[in-house]
């Protein structure tokens, strides 16, 4: 159907309908839409769904494109990712192996443990954990008692060829000596005052002397800020150093990735911001 050119030009001169988006970094983005269209409502609804999802899988990162995962069960997806990291992609996770607690697997360095399958050891850790292959579940239970909230060092990512890992844990309660066969870096991202305060209530900090062939990341802070208090800073951005915090996290992440990729070393990340969120 032919359109009326004059009507089209008149609509162009009409005031545009605006949609304003304010980011957490205080940047403001304004979208302009033609009048008498539903574009603004469609965009608003899409942004609202992505920023206020009813479930985890509604986040944009999961819905922006086709997913290689055929199921949305987070426990099945976790196991499939573990199998991939261990070079066992031929194994597929299923509800039956979870119910029977028969999902254990391993490579020459690491294994999937069922020690926390009922969340009795550490309620805030996943039901399946990647741990050193030659450490028994009983030793894992004993080691967990030396960590705040029983969050012992577990593997978050494993290099499929070198076996180098990125691990996470909470603060130690007492020293624990571990014999490592490969170079271990300890990345403690807390400010010194936080570590000292935690020591006063029975907590502590990682010491390279407790680990064979280990080295502590230089400095007590990444950017001089308290990474675990960033959520409180959002409500008072002015003077909070929010962008410095973000820069520090990115710089620390790049440092960790470089140690794993360039040196085939393992890294233990020790900070509430990294291990609990």
* 190-199 pLDDT, tens digit each: 666 666 666 5
Q: Distance (Å, rounded) from C-alpha 155 to C-alpha 132?
A: 9
Check whether 14 has a pLDDT greater than 80: no
Q: Mind giving me the DSSP string for 140-194? A: HHHHHTTBGGG---EEEEE-TTT--EEEEE--BSS---B--SS-EEEEE-S-HHH
* 236-267 pLDDT, tens digit each: 655 667 777 778 888 888 888 888 888 888 88
* 21-77 pLDDT, tens digit each: 888 777 888 988 888 888 888 888 888 887 777 877 777 766 666 555 566 688 998
Q: Are 83 and 77 in contact (CB under 8 A)?
A: no
Report DSSP state, residue 106: B
Catalytically annotated residues: 271
Residues 6+ apart with CB under 8 A from 244: 223, 224, 225
Q: Distance (Å, rounded) from C-alpha 123 to C-alpha 199?
A: 23
Q: Distance (Å, rounded) from C-alpha 123 to C-alpha 28?
A: 40
């Amino acid at each position: 159907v032919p359109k009326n050119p004059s009507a089209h030009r008149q609509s162009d001169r009409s005031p545009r309908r605006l949609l304003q988006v304010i980011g957490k970094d205080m940047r403001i983005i304004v979208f302009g839409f033609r009048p008498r269209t539903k574009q603004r409502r469609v965009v608003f609804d899409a942004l609202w769904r992505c920023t206020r999802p009813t479930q985890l899988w509604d986040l944009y990162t999961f819905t922006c494109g086709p997913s290689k995962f055929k199921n949305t069960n987070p426990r099945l997806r976790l196991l499939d990712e573990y199998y991939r990291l261990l070079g066992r992609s031929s194994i597929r996770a299923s509800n039956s192996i979870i119910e029977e607690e028969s999902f254990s697997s391993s490579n020459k360095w690491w294994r999937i443990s069922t020690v926390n399958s009922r969340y009795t050891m550490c309620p805030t850790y996943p039901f399946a954990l990647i741990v050193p292959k030659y450490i028994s579940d009983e030793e894992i239970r004993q080691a967990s008692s030396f960590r705040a909230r029983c969050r012992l060092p577990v593997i978050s990512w494993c290099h499929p060829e070198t076996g180098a890992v990125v691990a996470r844990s909470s603060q130690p309660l007492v020293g624990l000596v571990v014999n490592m066969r490969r170079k271990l870096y300890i990345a403690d991202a807390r400010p010194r005052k936080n570590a000292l305060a935690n020591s006063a209530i029975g907590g502590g900090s990682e010491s390279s002397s407790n680990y064979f062939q280990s080295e502590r990341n230089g400095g007590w802070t990444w950017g001089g800020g308290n990474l675990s208090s960033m959520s409180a800073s959002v409500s008072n951005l002015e003077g909070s150093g929010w962008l410095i915090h973000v820069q520090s996290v990115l710089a620390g992440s790049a440092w960790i990735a470089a140690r794993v990729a360039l040196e085939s070393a393992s890294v233990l990340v020790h900070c509430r911001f990294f291990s609990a969120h």
